[in-house]
Amino acid sequence: MSTVIANAVLRPADDKVILRKSGCIVQSAQYEYSSVYEDLNNNNLIDMPGDLGNGNATITPYFGDSKILFTGLIHCGHQTTWRTNFFRTFYRINSGSWTQFYGGFGSNLYSGTNSMSQTIKCSYLVSPSYSAGNSIGFKIQHIGHANGGHLHLNQINLSNSTANNNVINAHSKIYLQEVAQ
Amino acid sequence: MSEVVVSRIHSQSADQYLCGADEPGSIIQVKQFSYSAVFYDNSNDNIERDMPGVLGDGSMFIECEAGNRILVECNMQLGQEDTWRSIFFRVYWNGGMNRAPGGVRNSGGNGANTTSITNSARPDDNLLYAGGSGHNYNANNNGMLHTANWSVLTPPVINNGAVNFRMTEVGHDNGNTLHLNQNNVTNSTSNENDNQVASTVILKEVYYP
């Protein structure tokens, strides 16, 4: 393997920075969930299904002082009336305890028919304290509003239907980027 | 600091492009500015007002090299009470050319636009084509949250140094009132942030030849 050791890459002639260790994005990872998932309990705080909530969404930074740019993207479906869903975001180091961070987000849908859908996305730059070689895991928890908090994750129909279809193949995701410091 | 001066870098095994002097796109740095308190403004019906704290006081900045662009990502957390709310946002910068016309600004002499961002070497306080909006609707219930997220790539920064940003908000004439970061998991109008959300602006300096 050919390796050049440097903190910055400059272009010839005027030394303008093309790439710099401090601030560049050195790796990214994406975790997805594509099935239709429903939680028909209001005010029920639960881990999101699959890789969105089971701790599998991880990144192992190359450096011991990087920040992680977390992006959550959720496709919220809808049935019958209004729906408001809240999403809480957490990280942990290796298999340690979960720490909540200010990356939460929410969706709001209102209609008397079925199958509306709203895609929501939120990013947050997290500064965890960890050591080189540690794995940093992320998860999303869901809680619905007390009066209209049913979750219809990835449920998308093109007609007035409550069927558990995802007709446009939308995937809800966690997207992670290591930002070197 | 160790530096390498080079026109282009490829990976060895696959001879794939990694970065180069003639190609735009390398992310030079990433910065975030965050506001997590609950903020309420009911004087914004068709009146442009500064966003609270770091979002609106002009102190969001990123140090850039001339010619580079800035990828601006806005995450605004819009709460709700009683009925519908529709809030619009504008983004100003002092990094270079003006890409958006002034548009209608109903200051109303009511505390709007109290802040400006200036830079002696560049045009001041220019409106960017970087606006966004968020909408909540519910009748007779409270505590909704809608997260509005959008991104825009600025024009090139015209000279080296700090580029400042600030945001303003305008409420719809009939459904104003900003409830920034307010969210309740019950039918409540209390100023809570139950789910730990933050309204943020993330700035990425993007290399351009």
List all residues of chain B from 84 to 123 with a beta carbon under 8 Å from chain A.
none
Predicted confidence at residue B107, as pLDDT, reads 42
Strands A99-109 and B8-10: unpaired
Beta bridge partners of B202: B32, B73
Predicted confidence at residue A141, as pLDDT, reads 98
Q: How far is CA A159 from the centre of its chain?
A: 28
Token pair in block for residue B30: 């990433």
Whether the pLDDT of residue A41 is over 50: the answer is yes
DSSP state of B54: H
Domain contains B67: yes
Predicted confidence at residue A174, as pLDDT, reads 98
Predicted confidence at residue B106, as pLDDT, reads 43
Task: For domain A23-179, say whether CATH 3.40.50.300 is its number.
Answer: no
Average pLDDT, chain A: 95
Q: What is the mean pLDDT of residues A130-156?
A: 96
Query: What's the domain range around B93?
Result: 24-206
Predicted confidence at residue B40, as pLDDT, reads 93
Is B7 an interface residue toward A (CB < 8 Å)?
Answer: yes
Alpha-carbon Rg for chain B in angstroms: 20
CATH code of the domain in which B114 resides: 2.60.120.1340
Q: Do A19 and B186 touch (CB under 8 A)?
A: no
Closest CA to B62 of B89, B28, B85, B86: B28
Give me the tens of pLDDT residue by residue for chain B, a chain 209 residues long.
689 999 999 988 778 888 899 999 999 999 999 999 999 999 888 888 889 999 998 899 999 999 999 999 999 999 999 999 999 998 988 888 665 555 444 443 344 455 566 655 666 677 788 888 888 888 889 999 999 999 999 999 988 989 999 998 988 888 889 999 999 999 999 999 999 999 999 999 999 99
List all residues of chain A from 21 to 50 with a beta carbon under 8 Å from chain B.
22-25, 43
Q: Do A15 and B5 touch (CB under 8 A)?
A: yes
Strands A57-59 and A136-144: antiparallel
> Which of A43, A105, A147 is facing B197, going by the closest CB pair?
A105
**Number of structural domains, chain B?**
1
Residues of B in contact with A11 (CB under 8 A): 5-7, 21, 209
Q: Which residues lie closer than 8 Å to B109 by C-beta, 6 or more apart?
A: none
In total, the C-beta contacts within 8 angstroms joining chain A to chain B are 173
Predicted confidence at residue B173, as pLDDT, reads 84
Would you place residue A4 in the very low, low, confident or very high pLDDT band (cuts 50, 70, 90)? Answer: confident
Write out the DSSP string of B144-172: -EEEEEEEEEPPPP-SSEEEEEEEEEEE-
Predicted confidence at residue B175, as pLDDT, reads 84
How far does A105 lie from chain B, in Å, by closest CA? 6
Do A107 and A83 meet the contact criterion of CB atoms below 8 Å apart? yes
Q: What is the mean pLDDT of residues A123-136?
A: 97
Domain ranges of chain A: 23-179
Q: For residue A70, what are the CA distances in angstroms to A58, A107, A125, B74?
A: 11, 18, 6, 14
Which pTM was predicted? 0.94
Domain contains B11: no
ipTM attached to this prediction: 0.95
Q: For residue B95, what are the CA distances in angstroms to B102, B169, B179, B186, B204?
A: 16, 21, 30, 43, 14
Residue of B34, B180, B196 best to disrupt the A interface, most CBs of A under 10 A: B196
Would you place residue A86 in the very low, low, confident or very high pLDDT band (cuts 50, 70, 90)? Answer: very high
Q: Which residues lie closer than 8 Å to B69 by C-beta, 6 or more apart?
A: B24, B153, B154, B155, B156, B157, B205, B206, B208
A52/B98: higher pLDDT: A52
Predicted confidence at residue B80, as pLDDT, reads 93
Closest CA to A71 of A151, A172, A167: A172
Domain contains B106: yes
Is A55 an interface residue toward B (CB < 8 Å)?
Answer: no
Signed CA dihedral, A89, B147, A59, A69: sign only: negative
Q: For residue B166, what are the CA distances in angstroms to B26, B29, B157, B158, B170?
A: 25, 19, 16, 18, 14
Residue of A1, A21, A105, A127 best to disrupt the B interface, most CBs of B under 10 A: A105
Domain contains B18: no
Q: Which residue of B has its CA nearest to A99?
A: B196
